[in-house]
Amino acid sequence: NAGVTQTPKFQVLKTGQSMTLQCAQDMNHNSMYWYRQDPGMGLRLIYYSASEGTTDKGEVPNGYNVSRLNKREFSLRLESAAPSQTSVYFCASIGRDRGRGLNEQYFGPGTRLTVT
Amino acid sequence: KQEVTQIPAALSVPEGENLVLNCSFTDSAIYNLQWFRQDPGKGLTSLLLIQSSQREQTSGRLNASLDKSSGRSTLYIAASQPGDSATYLCAVEGTGANNLFFGTGTRLTVIP
């Protein structure tokens, strides 16, 4: 059980280049999320997917697109990277703690992206 | 919009001390509150989750309390160890929301 995995771990892009960040979870969770983490600003939600086939905007969606390919995978695409998108990106999924009946978020290790 | 604040931003304590980390939030209509730990260059690991109807949760040396009416939560760490050094974040989930609102974290250093 690998939990939430993300690729790549590091990436450097030039302004205007495109790339896709991959995320997968093997916990059979319905909901998946993409966050960005910037110094002094905490984590902010970019997009989320409540279930396979659905996606919704979060707090900071501009400049990004997402695809919920299947229940396991949720990818984040930067079509034309900008320096303001330099950040650490985290994918997360939410699952139910059966013992307490509560939903709990599980995070991937992150992708550190630099746009020059 | 929910705003979550954590004070202090950084804290250094000698090994063995008990300590308290603070989290406050502006909208008391929350579904739950979660405390996470983040090691440098790593993702977030969930430590404790408190449902809005609960007052506290305990896990080993960690105890988290929640006072929803005043918009406050604390994370108490007993007998701190160097391995506790990390950034601790709190996050609140609003009712009906599919989102966690995060604080900016407290960076804890436990000095041997």
For B4-59, the pLDDT digits (tens) are 999 999 999 999 999 999 999 999 888 889 999 999 888 899 899 998 889 999 99
Residues belonging to chain B with any Cβ–Cβ distance to chain A shorter than 8 Å: 4, 32, 34, 36, 41-46, 49, 51, 89, 91, 93, 98-100, 102-105
Q: CA torsion, points A14, A19, A25, A28, in degrees to nearest 10?
A: 150
Which of B98, B101, B106, B107 best probes binding to A when mutated, by most A CB atoms within 10 angstroms? B98
* Tokens coding A53: 């086939």
CA proximity to A103, closest of B19, B49, B38: B49
Mean pLDDT over A47-76 rounds to 94
Tokens 């690998």 belong to residue? A2
CB atoms within 10 A of CB A52: 14
What 3-state class would DSSP assign to A84?
helix
Residue B17, phi then psi, degrees to nearest 5:
-75, 150
Predicted confidence at residue A96, as pLDDT, reads 67
Q: Above 80 in pLDDT, residue B104?
A: yes
Cβ-Cβ contacts under 8 Å, A60 against chain B: none
Give me the residue label for tokens 């001390």: B17
